[in-house]
Structure 1
Amino acid sequence: MTPPEIRINQTWPFEDGSVVELTCLAQINSHAATLNWNCTDIETSKQNIANCTHYSTKIIYTAAVEDNGRVCKCIATMGTVSISTSIKLHIRIKEIFSLDIYNQFLCNNSKEVQLSCTITSNALSFGFDSWTHTYNGVFIRHLKGTNVGNTSVVLINTCQFYDCGQYECRAWKRDESGLKWIEKAGELKVSGPPFIVETQAIFTPDLSFAAKFVSLPTAYYLEWYISEEVLNNSSKYNRTFTRDTFTVYMHGVPVTVAGYKATLTIDSKEEMETDEQVSLVLINELGKASYSFKLWKAPFEENEPNVYNEIVAESDGRMSNHHHQYFDIEISHEDTESNSYDESSNNC
């Protein structure tokens, strides 16, 4: 009779809470032999006999850290003769290393917001690295958090559109297996009055004005004005409102954002008078924004060129000054009116 062989289905050490199998095998040339485990209160399966001489018995066991160091013995017995093989259980504490961060942070424009991240770990040594701010995968900046215990906090005193995006918290731990890192990100969404990103005046072939903007929540009021008079429906004017993408600089980094474009086209320049003002007014639930183009009659002297005449000269040198009214344009931006408002469905 040869000593039993013990096989395990996992590598050492077992992890606390894992399910492991301990199998004992023995070759005994007797029908009267037995194969048993001595492993205190750990329940074993009945022995199996294959080909009359091969015996096996198995333990299916949920590892517990309090069993670390326990000796389990497999004993083969034939008559009065016994022979055994022992195994000493090596069970390590289950690794705990995780980060808890909100999937979404919300702030109102110009208000304060705190981003927090908490680490859970049973390692003796752990800590945080800098936060990383990105927008749609584009790196924007690193931010150093204030670390208190197992929590790291980034404070943004005045929340702006340029702060929206993804914020990744990164933490580390060190144990006997070495240094390990973990990352988890949350998204900051900034709600506020409409934010006009870019404006444009086009002079030929028709006079048109355009504004690109973001609005979170969506603007429910969009109107063009001429000299404080709302623009009524007319075949003389063409107004469009479309979704658009454009480049915005977030903390000096160019990123592509999704927003809207409002355009006003005036088919006949003769409809415009001098000293008029064309304005766009946008309103959403959080406030108002407006943008104004101020027009005045331009000089026609050759030594005093204006923007309109320069553009016309490049596109069509045959246009006559005698048949058109020409304008210079001055752009003014009205300060945004904002109110404190919190709406969890708003997107950045």
Structure 2
Amino acid sequence: MYTSVLCLCVILLHVWRCQSSICMSWKLQDNQLRITCTIDKIVLDVKLYDPFGVEVAYCLIPFPRTTCLSTNNNSTVIQDLHSGETVYITKSTTTNDHNGIWSCVHGKDNSKVNILVSDNSVYELLPRVTFNGQRYVQKHTQMTLLCTTNTDPIDPLATFYVDNKMYTTLHRNTSGCFSSFGATECNTDSCQCFPNGRSYILHYSSMVDSGTLAFRCSMDFKNVGSVSDCIFVSVVDITGPLISASETFPLTAGTVVDLTCTSTSRESVLEISMNCLATSTQSSHSSHDSIKNETTYVASLSKLVTSKDNGKTCYCKIVSKRLQISETIILQIIRAPIIHLQTQFVCNSSESAVLSCNLSGELSTFGFSGWIHSSGGTLLRQLDGNISGKTSLLEIKNCSFDDRGDYLCSAWNEDYTDVFLQNATTSLFVAGPPEIIETDIIIGDIATLSVQFFSPVKPNQPKWYVKNKIVTHSKLYNQSLSKEVIATTIYGRIKTIHGYVAKLRMPTNSADTIYCTVVLENEFGTTMSAFNLNNDSAVFHIRSIIWILIATFIFLITVVVITVFIWRRKNGFHERSSPTAVYFGAPQIDNNVNIYSETMSNYDEIDDGDLFPVNAGLREHSSPRTIETMGNYEEIDDGNLFPENQDDNHTIEKNGDEDEMQDLYIDIEIE
């Protein structure tokens, strides 16, 4: 007895932590109202309540056996643990007793259903809704659910519920089939409506890893109301199977390919098998990941594929207690050449290296397309190899830093009308001492000597010599070595590489001649570079550079100013001076006009005699005198300057007094 009680407590503790799926449906059959409460796992007591909230049926915990009771003499309760159904059957003929919302409770889970039956239809053969679908599905996969009825509903629509929550309504009209989920039109991948309006298909994608989903489909009928049916779908935590190949598809005829099928599971124990090209294999091994709490099952085989195997199918199947899943792969095989090329070649500095590229496979008409030398994705050069049969040899003489990088061998094979190309890449490693790329000297109060170099392996600390004596790192001789990206030229292409920069900073006197040497070393050898701090052909003093920059700046400013001035003069952009007045004094009594000072050289001076001739008769026979200037001026008549009759503006008035006169002003505007 104590053992039974202990087991019961353990079961109750286990099921109390679990959540079950529950669903309700109803139908009229054989003049009886049948209300069904379906539970995926019945482990607790089950209670049914009528629309008034009164408990009408009760089933005890099914341990050690099922026991159900009904509070109504005209009703019975039956329970089937295998199907998970608890059915309440009543013979009541009064609609007021059963119309309304009924509920079913299992532990903390509950479900409700609305029942509506008219008095005229209680004993008729009424509509029936049938819901079908997979009972077990793999996690994160799509399932297909079919809801049908044996008669026409009021409207051609069906409502789908997931875990007692409305998911979508499928509705058919003259325009097509539509889903309320996202307000979109159905397609073959999401949902379908049959032309008769009685059948509907829903494609549902499960986002849970495991557990049980409760689905219910409901339709409305005349005189009956809503009739529904439900199913439970168990989601199994299985991933796969997945088939992978050691080579990239399409496969090349004549190669050996490893095919592997894998699958993982957290709960189920799997059996995995594989069949390919008349070869079968069972699960070869399994491994458990304690962190993810999952087990991986593997089946693999190796096959030599030929062109005859093209289009054949390989199978992989996993079997669990609840589910069986298969996966297939179709082989794609071409008659491309198989290139045999070792992954890396090594060449000692200043020695020669030979790169060999060999072909095999189902060859008919084949050839090589040459070699391509690149470095870091940058094309450097194209080379021709020495071809002999199925082999292409590329000889590199006197290996240097420029020869390092990747070398691609390309070959082709013609198969009827198809030409298949194949490429393979190798690398060349040049084993040699550090190679100097550039040196530099900056002299001021502090001299900075620097050298940029490349080393195929990590170099040792550089050694600096000043006047043939080695110096160590100190405040007086500051030394540094850094790894930097430097630019260099390789076969005419400017390329950046990862190199090193070594520097020495030390005080210097420009009057002294200082010779310095740096020794660069790695495991393959040593390289040296000398510096002469007073070599004028290679060194510029900082002060000299500054003076050169200042002189260059002044020169550029002068050129700009002169250019702007000439351009403005050429295009007429010169300033106009303000009009300048030139004043002439009025003539004395003896009519001798004073000569004025002329302001512009383009005008002739006016002679007094011409203005006031001595012989008046001569003026009568003389022609008007013209003064020619640079501009367009009219001829000036002497008589017009001083007419006998007084002008309004330019006149000399004589009032009998020869000492009195007015000054005559003639304004000449000079531009």
Q: Normalising to structure 2: TM-score of the pair?
A: 0.32
Cα distance, 1:180 vs. partner? 1.5
Residues 1:289 and 2:522 are matched in the alignment: no
Q: Equivalents in 1 of 2:493, 2:535: separation in Å?
A: 39
Distance 1:276 1:173, change over 3 A: same
Distance 1:118 1:238, change over 3 A: same
Residues 1:187 and 2:420 are matched in the alignment: no
* 113, 119, 126: which one aligns with 2:366: 126
Is contact 1:96–1:120 with CA below 8 Å preserved after alignment?
A: no
Q: Equivalents in 2 of 1:316, 1:203: separation in Å?
A: 19
SS, match of residue 458 in structure 2: coil
- How do 1:80-91 and structure 2 match up within 5 A? none
Is contact 1:194–1:284 with CA below 8 Å preserved after alignment?
A: yes
SS, match of residue 132 in structure 1: strand
Q: Equivalents in 2 of 1:158, 1:256: separation in Å?
A: 23
Deviation digits for residues 158-203 of structure 1, max 9, x if unmatched?
1111000000000011012411111111011101011111111123
Name the residue aligned to 1:269.
508
Is contact 2:365–2:415 with CA below 8 Å preserved after alignment?
A: yes
Is contact 2:335–2:415 with CA below 8 Å preserved after alignment?
A: no
Structure with the greater alpha carbon radius of gyration: 2
SS, match of residue 158 in structure 1: coil
SS, match of residue 122 in structure 1: coil
Residues 1:175 and 2:443 are matched in the alignment: no
Is contact 2:336–2:422 with CA below 8 Å preserved after alignment?
A: no
Q: Equivalents in 2 of 1:262, 1:189: separation in Å?
A: 24
* 356, 378, 386: which one aligns with 1:116: 356
Name the residue aligned to 2:470.
230
* 516, 522, 526: which one aligns with 1:278: 516
- How do 1:308-319 and structure 2 match up within 5 A? 308=541, 309-313=543-547
Q: Equivalents in 1 of 2:502, 2:529: separation in Å?
A: 11
Unpaired segments ≥5 residues, structure 1: 1-14, 19-41, 43-61, 69-91, 299-303, 318-348
Name the residue aligned to 2:283.
none
**After TM superposition, where is structure 1 displaced by more than 2 Å over at least 4 residues in a row?**
15-18, 62-65, 92-97, 203-206, 216-221, 295-298, 312-317
SS, match of residue 280 in structure 1: strand
Residues 1:307 and 2:540 are matched in the alignment: yes
Q: Equivalents in 2 of 1:99, 1:316: separation in Å?
A: 64
Cα distance, 1:314 vs. partner? 5.1
Is contact 2:370–2:383 with CA below 8 Å preserved after alignment?
A: yes
Name the residue aligned to 2:565.
none
- How do 1:207-222 and structure 2 match up within 5 A? 207-222=447-462
Greater mean alpha carbon deviation, residues 307-316 or residues 245-254: 307-316
Deviation digits for residues 116-138 of structure 1, max 9, x if unmatched?
11111312100101100000000
Q: Equivalents in 2 of 1:205, 1:314: separation in Å?
A: 18
Cα distance, 1:204 vs. partner? 4.3
Cα distance, 1:218 vs. partner? 2.6
SS, match of residue 110 in structure 1: coil
Residues 1:258 and 2:492 are matched in the alignment: no
SS, match of residue 189 in structure 1: strand
Cα distance, 1:273 vs. partner? 6.3
Q: Equivalents in 2 of 1:130, 1:178: separation in Å?
A: 20
Is contact 2:459–2:522 with CA below 8 Å preserved after alignment?
A: yes
Q: Equivalents in 1 of 2:399, 2:374: separation in Å?
A: 16
Is contact 1:192–1:217 with CA below 8 Å preserved after alignment?
A: no
Cα distance, 1:220 vs. partner? 2.2
Percent identity between the aligned chains?
27
Give the total of aligned pairs: 231
Name the residue aligned to 1:242.
482
Q: Equivalents in 2 of 1:274, 1:102: separation in Å?
A: 57
Q: Equivalents in 2 of 1:196, 1:96: separation in Å?
A: 44
Greater relative CO, 1 or 2 (CA 8 Å, sep 6+): 1
SS, match of residue 544 in structure 2: helix
> What is the identity, as a one-letter code, of the residue corresponding to 1:269?
T
SS, match of residue 311 in structure 1: helix
> What is the identity, as a one-letter code, of the residue corresponding to 1:310?
S
Greater mean alpha carbon deviation, residues 157-166 or residues 225-234: 225-234
> What is the identity, as a one-letter code, of the residue corresponding to 1:311?
I
Distance 1:280 1:315, change over 3 A: farther
Name the residue aligned to 2:385.
145
Distance 1:64 1:246, change over 3 A: closer
Deviation digits for residues 207-242 of structure 1, max 9, x if unmatched?
201001112333224111101111133312211110
- How do 1:318-333 and structure 2 match up within 5 A? none
Residues 1:106 and 2:339 are matched in the alignment: no
Is contact 1:125–1:174 with CA below 8 Å preserved after alignment?
A: yes
Distance 1:108 1:273, change over 3 A: farther
Name the residue aligned to 2:623.
none
Unpaired segments ≥5 residues, structure 2: 1-252, 258-277, 279-302, 310-331, 552-671
Cα distance, 1:256 vs. partner? 1.2
SS, match of residue 505 in structure 2: strand
SS, match of residue 310 in structure 1: helix
